[in-house]
Amino acid sequence: MDILMSVWEFFQNNILVKPQFFIGFIVFVGYMLLGKPIYECLAGFIKATVGYMILGVASGGLVGNFRPVLVGLKDRFELSAAVIDPYFGQAAAQMSVENVGRSFSMMMMVLLIAFSMNMLFVFFRKYTKIRTLFITGHVMVQQSSTALWLVLFCFPQLQDPQVVGMLGVLLGTYWAVASNLTVEPVAKLTEGGGFATGHQQMVGIFLVSKLAKKIGDPKKSLENLHLPGFLSIFNENVVATGILMTVFFGAIITVLGPDLMHSIDKSFGKNQNFLFYIVEKSFYFAVYLTILQLGVRMFVSELTNSFQGISEKILPGSLPAVDCAATYGFGHPNAVTFGFLFGALGQFLAIMGLIVFNSPILIISGFVPLFFDNATFAVFANRLGGIRAAAIIPFFSGMIQVLGGGFAAYYFTTGNFGGWHGNFDWDTLWPVIGVIMNNLQYVGVAAVVIILLAIPQILYQRNKDTYFVIAEDFDKYKEIMAKKQGVSVDDVVID
């Protein structure tokens, strides 16, 4: 017994609380179970572990690069600040978790439990009415990170196993229920493309699919619009981040002034020109984001691979819920750019509003929510409500992102580390869940899970005859709709 205890203690101290080894260990065991040769298991272990360690370096760099600016803002204006972006949010969540002395390994356990929950829901879909399995690995990592901090914030006294168990159930329920909401909108957009969306704006997509037809006319679509060619540079992540960060940090650092920056940032050389200092500082964000993404890609690709395999083998008849960018091919390229532009307009106006009304927190636009959320909304909005909906919806989404993200970064204190998750669902649904958890504690968590699970039941009750058909066989769905409308299949109207 004593030997067993000391083995467990060794495992706990060296692997379980060290996220890099824990992740490597999971990949190693997973590969062994798949019957891969030992050298491939070892390669997987190394890639996953190194990938995670790269992530750690980048998160530290990102927050460290931000710190002088945060100190300056605090010093001069009593302000805190946050970039609303899932990568900044993930870094800030990790720092927050470690700052209260807890292990970030829990993030990985939460992810695995939540994924298993989602699988169970699909497996029992006869009762749960869940048709989708969330398999977007990098998004699962980001969401597990932020949600882990929310639970530790609301339940600081809770032991690790309880934290992991409770959050695993909560997050797994969200993944299942929210991705299930996108089945109809995505199937109609892609004419039975065979997938759903598993990303960061799933509730948003559902709302857009309900609102867009009320806002505009699909016949007045944005296909005929000619957008200037230079906008295509925003297709590149590094370029877009470099530009965004230079604009925002340029403005902030200019207001703080060279004297203050000299006194708080040692990396600002005595003879360095102020303008070049700003550009260098801003570009460092692009540097750390690129490193961060490299790390994530290294350990997540192993994960996504096996998730994809599971979804095909174990759960036939269900839909994989994947990255929102998979829908872009079904919208006009103009829609993507349009969403980004109007989202940016909404965000900038809301940020000015924060400044004018003396908000205690300043929000800085991050590229991922700005681009991916609003471009996705525009693709769906354009199909149902034309150019008018594709402009108005991303505009308001941009404002909501800033206001909701600002509230969350302030309330959940991740503003101390300069970031918040920032994607649509995490500026709307999740702050609400967080506040409920914080005030009602366990009762709140139970209530949230029950309410979420009721949503697919309500959807099912409304369309019993087509609910599963639309996910399994779109042609058959069209036939049923044609019969209902009393027209031939070619003339059926699907909206």
Query: In this complex, which beta carbon is closest to another protein, that of residue 50 or of residue 238?
Result: 238
Q: CB 83 → another protein: shortest distance, Å?
A: 16
Of 17, 174, 29, give the one whose Cα is nearest residue 103.
Answer: 17
Q: CB 192 → another protein: shortest distance, Å?
A: 10
186 binds another protein (CB under 8 A): no
222 binds another protein (CB under 8 A): no
358-397 residues in contact with another protein (CB under 8 A) are: 368, 371-372
Query: In this complex, which beta carbon is closest to another protein, that of residue 290 or of residue 413?
Result: 290
103 binds another protein (CB under 8 A): no
Determine how many CB atoms are found less than 10 A away from the CB of residue 61: 18
Q: CB 293 → another protein: shortest distance, Å?
A: 7
Q: Say which amino acid occupies 44.
A: G
Q: CB 393 → another protein: shortest distance, Å?
A: 19
Span interacting with another protein, options 94-102, 154-162, 298-306, 420-428, rule CB under 8 A: 298-306
Q: How far apart are CA 36 and CA 28, in angstroms?
A: 10
Q: Say which amino acid occupies 331.
A: G
Quick check: helix, strand or coil at residue 81?
strand
C-alpha torsion 146→150→153→159, nearest 10 = -90
Q: CB 291 → another protein: shortest distance, Å?
A: 13
DSSP assignment string, 315-336:
-TTSEEEE-GGGGGGGS-HHHH
Query: In this complex, which beta carbon is closest to another protein, that of residue 293 or of residue 416?
Result: 293
DSSP assignment string, 271-290:
T--HHHHHHHHHHHHHHHHH
Query: In this complex, which beta carbon is closest to another protein, that of residue 371 or of residue 424?
Result: 371
34 binds another protein (CB under 8 A): no
DSSP assignment string, 97-125:
HHHTT--THHHHHHHHHHHHHHHHHHHTH
| H-helix segments, 155-219 | 160-181, 183-190, 202-215
37 binds another protein (CB under 8 A): no
91 binds another protein (CB under 8 A): no
Draw the binding track, 301-330, toward another protein (x: CB under 8 A; -: no contact).
x--xx--x-----------x-xxxxx-xxx
Query: In this complex, which beta carbon is closest to another protein, that of residue 85 or of residue 265?
Result: 85
Instruction: Provide the β-strand partners of residue 196.
Output: 321
- What is the total residue count of the chain? 495
58 binds another protein (CB under 8 A): no
Among residues 40, 75, 223, 236, the one that binds another protein under rule CB under 8 A: 236
Number of residues counted as binding another protein (CB under 8 A): 38
H/E stretch holding 346 reads helix 333-356
Q: How far apart are CA 118 and CA 171, in angstroms?
A: 9
Q: CB 331 → another protein: shortest distance, Å?
A: 8
Q: CB 310 → another protein: shortest distance, Å?
A: 12
288 binds another protein (CB under 8 A): no
Q: CB 237 → another protein: shortest distance, Å?
A: 6
Q: In what order do the strands lie in the sheet with 132-134?
A: 132-134, 319-322, 196-197
**DSSP state, 348?**
H
Among residues 37, 156, 161, 194, the one that binds another protein under rule CB under 8 A: 194
Contacts 24+ apart (CB under 8 A), 450-454: 452/173, 452/174, 452/177, 453/128, 453/173, 453/177
Residues that bind another protein (CB under 8 A): 136-139, 190, 193-195, 199, 232, 235-239, 293, 296-297, 300-301, 304-305, 308, 320, 322-326, 328-331, 333, 336, 368, 371-372
